[in-house]
């Protein structure tokens, strides 16, 4: 059985192989921006990420005859992108971390000083609890300063955490496809996602605290 | 009866909880803690908001320069593959 999505993809691939420009435009509109964003976690500048993505698209076109539909078209395209980006990163002299490697600098999700010490009656419960964020704008109209802060918080993450949160939370992919594209085990993917989200939450907490009057 | 979860433990389990990866007993401990802890409920809500706000960074814009370069690459490929 093929799903409507798969049928649509196969139709796109057929049109591409026949050289239909509209099919290529549709695919670029759908994935290019996400590809550049992901590429930025492998290489040092936006310009290089654009180049890498361009190179990946050429790889996609040249490899079309080899696409057999064993993975989704999107997975296949993004695998080409990550391979292209890794090659470029190595040429740039950047370390490409192994997927099993945990970042030794990573601490817990929340600063331990926010919890009561072990001698307390309420050991390991909140000492400085989080307070409700009062002014969270609707995500659909997110703009300006807050948007920049989230962007910066994600850009500051170690590369693999950044890759996972980019695909999972920015692009909204499921965990299985993310594991396939980034060649991660499900558990590692989840650990990376947890660390990434925890750090972005911490950055947001700092942002929302700034808006409050000082005590 | 299992020992109760502490707040410090709970914050490390939030992603596993969202992903539906907590074993049943562990999930029950997690939810029991939440039911009695406002601070952790706020924390959980903040993690949800974090996910949602990250999703707002999504864009589909392709710069005109990139789009033009890609179309050119496509046309070259088409000529070469004929």
Nearest to B77 among A36, A62, A147 (CB): A62
Using alpha carbons only, give the angle B16, B18, B23 rounded to the nearest 5 degrees. Answer: 45
Query: Within a domain: residue A215?
Result: no
**Integer Cα distance of B55 and A140 in angstroms:** 9
- Bridge partner list, A115: A126
Question: What average pLDDT does the segment A105-134 reach?
Answer: 92
Last residue of a domain, one of A68, A92, A116: A92
A125-146 per-position pLDDT tens digit: 999 999 999 878 777 677 788 9
Last residue of a domain, one of A92, A121, A147: A92
Query: Within a domain: residue A97?
Result: no
Question: In this structure, what CATH number is given to the domain that contains residue A65?
Answer: 1.10.1740.10
Question: What average pLDDT does the segment A146-169 reach?
Answer: 96
* One domain, residues A115 and A71: no
Last residue of a domain, one of A48, A68, A92: A92
Please tell me the predicted confidence (pLDDT) of residue A1: 52
pTM: 0.92
In which band, very low, low, confident or very high, does the pLDDT at A99 lie, cut at 50, 70 and 90?
Answer: very low
Residue B77, both tokens: 């490929």
Query: Within a domain: residue A64?
Result: yes
* One domain, residues A66 and A121: no
Please tell me the predicted confidence (pLDDT) of residue A105: 59
Number of domains in chain A: 2
A198 close contact with B: CB closer than 8 A? yes
A130 is in which domain, residue-wise?
103-209
* One domain, residues A152 and A83: no
* One domain, residues A122 and A170: yes
Residue A214, both tokens: 């000082």
Query: Within a domain: residue A156?
Result: yes
> B8 vs A62: CB contact, 8 Å cut-off?
no
CA atoms within 13 A on the CB side of B72: 8
Query: Within a domain: residue A54?
Result: yes
Please tell me the predicted confidence (pLDDT) of residue A199: 97
Please tell me the predicted confidence (pLDDT) of residue A77: 97
Question: Does A212 have pLDDT greater than 60?
Answer: no
* One domain, residues A134 and A205: yes
* One domain, residues A88 and A109: no
* One domain, residues A66 and A113: no
Query: Within a domain: residue A122?
Result: yes
Q: Is the ipTM of this complex over 0.90?
A: yes
Query: Within a domain: residue A98?
Result: no
B33-56 per-position pLDDT tens digit: 999 999 999 999 999 999 999 999
What is the pLDDT of chain A when averaged over all its residues? 90
Question: What average pLDDT does the segment A113-131 reach?
Answer: 94
* One domain, residues A113 and A64: no
In which band, very low, low, confident or very high, does the pLDDT at A214 lie, cut at 50, 70 and 90?
Answer: very low
> B52 vs A139: CB contact, 8 Å cut-off?
yes
Query: Within a domain: residue A214?
Result: no
A176 SS3 class: helix
Residues of chain A contacting residue B34, judged by C-beta atoms under 8 Å apart: none
* One domain, residues A87 and A113: no
In which band, very low, low, confident or very high, does the pLDDT at A100 lie, cut at 50, 70 and 90?
Answer: very low
Residues of chain B below pLDDT 50: none
What are the residues whose beta carbons fall under 8 Å from the beta carbon of A9, sequence distance 6 or more? A69, A72, A73
Please tell me the predicted confidence (pLDDT) of residue A95: 66
Residue A191, both tokens: 């650990």
* One domain, residues A34 and A57: yes
* One domain, residues A166 and A196: yes
* One domain, residues A16 and A74: yes
Residues of chain A contacting residue B55, judged by C-beta atoms under 8 Å apart: 139, 169-170, 172
In which band, very low, low, confident or very high, does the pLDDT at A106 lie, cut at 50, 70 and 90?
Answer: confident
A19-78 per-position pLDDT tens digit: 999 999 999 999 999 999 999 999 989 999 999 999 999 999 999 999 988 899 999 999
Nearest to A150 among B45, B54, B63 (CB): B54
């Amino acid at each position: 059985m093929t799903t409507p999505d798969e049928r649509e993809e196969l139709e796109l691939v057929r049109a591409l192989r026949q050289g239909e420009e509209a099919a290529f435009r549709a695919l670029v509109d759908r994935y290019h921006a996400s590809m550049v964003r992901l590429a930025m976690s492998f290489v040092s500048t936006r310009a290089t990420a654009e180049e890498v993505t361009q190179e990946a698209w050429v790889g996609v076109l040249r490899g079309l005859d080899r696409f057999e539909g064993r993975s989704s078209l999107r997975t296949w395209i993004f695998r080409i992108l990550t391979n292209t980006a890794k090659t470029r990163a190595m040429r740039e002299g950047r370390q490409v971390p192994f997927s099993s490697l945990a970042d030794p600098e990573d601490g817990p999700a929340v600063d331990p000083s926010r919890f009561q010490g072990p001698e307390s009656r309420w050991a390991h419960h909140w000492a400085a609890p989080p307070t409700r964020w009062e002014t969270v704008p609707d995500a659909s109209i997110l703009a300006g300063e807050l948007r920049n802060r989230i962007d910066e918080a994600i850009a500051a993450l170690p590369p693999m955490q950044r890759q996972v949160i980019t695909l999972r939370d920015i692009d909204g992919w499921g965990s299985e496809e993310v594991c396939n594209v980034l060649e991660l085990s499900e558990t590692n993917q989840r650990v990376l996602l947890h660390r990434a989200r925890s750090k972005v939450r911490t950055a947001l907490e700092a942002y929302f605290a700034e808006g409050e009057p000082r005590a | 009866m299992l020992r109760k979860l502490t707040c410090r433990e709970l914050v490390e389990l939030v992603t596993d909880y969202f992903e539906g990866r907590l074993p049943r007993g562990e999930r029950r401990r997690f939810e029991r803690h939440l039911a009695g802890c406002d601070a952790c409920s706020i924390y959980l809500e903040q993690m949800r908001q974090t996910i949602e706000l990250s999703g707002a960074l999504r864009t589909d814009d392709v710069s005109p320069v990139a789009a033009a370069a890609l179309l050119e690459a496509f046309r070259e490929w088409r000529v070469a593959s004929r």
